[in-house]
Amino acid sequence: AEILAAIKSGGEVAAKAVGERLDSFSGDIIVGPEEIENAAQIVPDQLKEDLKFAYDRVREFAEKQRESIKEFETELSPGLWAGQKLIPIETAGCYVPGGRYAHVASAIMSISTAKVAGVENIIACSAPNKGHGGIHPAILYTMDMCGADHILALGGVQGIAAMAYGLFTGHKANILVGPGNRFVSEAKRLLFGQVGIDLLAGPTEILIIADATADPEVVAHDLVGQAEHGPDSPAWLVTKSRKLAEDTMALMQGLIDAMPEVQRNAADAAWRDYGEVVLCDTDEEVVQVSDNYGPEHLELQVENLNWYVDRLKNYGSLFVGEEATVAFGDKCSGTNHILPTKRASHYTGGLSVHKFIKVVTTQRSTREANREVAAVTARISRLEGMEGHARTGDVRLSKYFPDETFILSP
């Protein structure tokens, strides 16, 4: 809150000062074409191909989402039309984490989706890395590839504030999207209302529903794969098979110990403090437990896949069968990885094209339709005690039908 207040009052100077203090970076905040070109020279060709692979699938999926919603107008009664218009948000602020990991995939998820939605101004920001003298080259290259209009070398709360207050670009973000650490998430929460946000993202979550046919090695790897995100990332296994549960648990510590140090420490703490294995008696109980948890990522490694797909209701993204895993969705398979956590799946899905589009309504009426609509409006308004509302109906009836008498009170 103090940082947001300081940047709101101190503007660009304050934002840059906070960046220097927290990230030890004193370079230009606005990333220019030359720096982007330099980053492109550094990124290996194979990585460029991989990023293009991911980008193409995320973009195509977003395009299909865009096609799924339509503008329309319908005649509800003779002479009374109501419609729906789709208006892209003008400016989006896309935050791309650049701290512990270089989250190039997050740049693809937010920026390309906003682009497909038709957002006019896309501002992207990421923390400058001391070792790279600015934003990580792969993140910078990806931001540019996806179509960011402005790129800022600012991370954390200062980056969120700069986008929300329109610093350095002259465009205030109407919506802030993208994952980040607890400080980024708190900054978004404090700014919500002044701007829109995608969702309040907590530590990443995985829940795997597996049965006796599942491979415990695959299940264990998938649990560890998400636990490496951080020491407070929950990893849950729900099953009817005691053997599968015990076999999976027996593998976990060995897989964790085999990870590199940073990832090992994170996964070890996450599994120790937030790992759970839930043993259920029936498929129905498995569904009940899973829906109560409402996990961000939900994997199905069971024989009766369709039965579960038809019944599960609360999750951010569903991965059906052993062949689909969370990491595929996180990186390149096409669906968005910015998803609800902490049971938010009970009321929302993840980031999509729809988050960047305002669905607004329109209406129009003939004078003849006023005969019915204006009279009903007047009667309901008077019942509610809203005389001013009622008289907007009265005046039209007296103007359009001066020779007629209407019942205007309930």
Would you list the DSSP string of 277-338?
EEE-SSHHHHHHHHHHH--SEEEEESS-HHHHHHH----SEEEESTT--HHHHHHTSSS---
Give dist(CA 194, CA 409) in Å, integer.
Answer: 41
Looking at residue 325, its pLDDT comes to 96
Closest CA to 320 of 227, 209, 222: 209
Closest CA to 227 of 241, 208, 210: 208
- In which element (H, E) is residue 92 found? strand 91-95
> What token pair was written down for 222?
């998938």
Q: Which residues contact 123 (CB under 8 A, 6 or more apart)?
A: 91, 92, 93, 94, 148, 149, 150, 151, 152, 163, 169, 171, 173
Looking at the annotation, which residues are catalytic? 296-297
Closest CA to 301 of 283, 286, 319, 287: 319
Separation in Å, CA 305 to CA 20, 77, 213, 323, 338: 52, 45, 12, 12, 25
Query: Which SS3 state, helix, strand or coil, does residue 235 take?
Result: strand
Apex CA 82: angle with CA 80 and CA 86, to 5°?
A: 160
> What token pair was written down for 106?
């997050």
Q: What is the DSSP letter of 133?
A: T
Give dist(CA 405, CA 176) in Å, integer.
Answer: 53
pLDDT in tens, the chain (410 residues): 999 999 999 999 999 999 999 999 999 999 999 999 999 999 999 999 999 999 999 999 999 999 999 999 999 999 999 999 999 999 999 999 986 667 899 999 999 999 999 999 999 999 998 778 899 999 999 999 999 999 999 999 999 999 999 999 999 999 999 998 889 999 999 999 999 999 888 899 999 999 999 999 999 999 999 999 999 999 999 999 999 999 999 999 999 999 999 999 999 999 999 999 999 999 999 999 999 999 999 999 999 999 999 999 999 999 999 999 999 999 999 999 999 999 999 999 999 999 999 999 999 999 999 999 999 999 999 999 999 999 999 999 999 999 999 999 99
Give dist(CA 221, CA 100) in Å, integer.
Answer: 21
Looking at residue 98, its pLDDT comes to 85
C-beta separation of 116 from 102 below 8 A = no
